[in-house]
Structure formats: structure tokens, C-alpha cells
Homo-oligomer: A and B are copies of this chain.
Amino acid sequence: MSAVPGSVADETMLETGSTTDIVGYRLRRAQLSVFQRFLSAFEALDLRPAEYSALALIGDNPGRKQTEIAEILGIKRANFVALINGLEARGLTERRAAHGDRRANALYLTEEGAGFVEKARAVQDDFEADCIARLGGTDARDTLLDLLGRLC
């Protein structure tokens, strides 16, 4: 990424430091890189990041309303409809009547969805292990999550 001290000057080298050595830029590049690898890792399962998050969250919190799940994930409820429609069409989730509120849908994993999430979690565990290895260990990962949390 940056010039190596002592290396032969490349005549096509651009001066990039003042543009790229800033938090926002590096954050964007790192996020795009990680999401790219996530897509590759989950290609066999045909699952995008937001879909994985929704399935995992529903699995840990069965019976919650659509709007609750969507809000936690930072997805507008209007945009969450198509996402959950896709998961439902694949037989992974289902909408059931919510207790005491006939407007709301309670979300659950189907039996097939529960099995699918198990496989997805295994893929995610491998993916996270790869991230940790790149970072240099679990301490480095914890440091990163802490620093990222301070930016929110």
C-alpha cells in the first residue's frame, strides 16, 4: 500500500498518503475487502451478509417482530420485507401470528432453516477465524472491535 523505504522509486507512483491515510478511507477499503471475502465464503450457501445476520438473529430470538429484527440490523422495515420474503421463499423462515397484536408478524426459523443456520454458523466461524488470523490473534481482534465501537 505505502512506499517501502529504500525501494527503487517507481516513476508511476502516485502520492496517496494525504488522501488514503485517514480513518474513513481505510475503514471503507477494509470493509469492502472483508465483505468481498464474506461473499466468496458464503457463495456455496448463496447468502449475503444481511441475510446471514437476519437468520442468526432470528435463530437466537425466535418469535420477534419483523420491525425489531430489522431495526437491530439497521435495515429500514420497508427494505426488510424483500429480504425476509427471499428467506421465506427458500423455506428458511416463516411468519406466524404475533401474540396479542394482529398487525405484527412473529419471525421463526423453519426446521430446514435451523439446519441451514447451523451450516452458516460453521462457515461464519471459519471466516471469523480467518479474520482473526489476519489481524494477528484474538487480542488484536478484541482491540479492533473496541476501537470500531468507539467510532459508532
Taking Cβ atoms with an 8 Å cutoff, the residues of A that contact B are 1, 12, 14-16, 18-35, 38, 49, 53, 56-57, 60-61, 64, 68, 72, 74, 121, 124, 127-128, 131-132, 134-136, 140-141, 143-145, 147-152
Residues of B within 8 Å of A33, CB to CB, are: 151-152
Set of chain B residues within 8 Å of A18, measured between Cβ atoms = 56, 60, 121
Report yes or no: B25 in contact with A31, Cβ–Cβ below 8 A.
Answer: no
With the chains together, A48 CA to B17 CA distance in Å? 19
User: A139 CB to closest chain B CB, in angstroms?
Assistant: 11
- Report B-chain residues with C-beta under 8 Å of the C-beta of A134: 150-151
| CA–CA, A148 and B33, complex, Å | 10
Task: Establish whether residues B53 and A14, one from each chain, have CB atoms under 8 Å apart when the complex forms.
Answer: no
List the B side residues contacting A30 at CB < 8 Å.
27, 148-149, 151-152
Interface contacts beyond A1-B152, A14-B60, A19-B56: sample of 10 additional A-B pairs, CB < 8 Å, sorted by A = A12-B68, A15-B60, A18-B60, A23-B145, A24-B38, A26-B149, A27-B148, A30-B151, A140-B150, A144-B147
Majority SS at the chain A contact face: helix
Partner of A61, one of B14, B22, B25, B124: B14
Pick the residue among B1, B145, B150 that contacts A136 (CB under 8 A): B150
Could you give 5 example pairs across A and B, Cβ below 8 Å? A12-B68, A14-B60, A18-B56, A30-B148, A30-B152
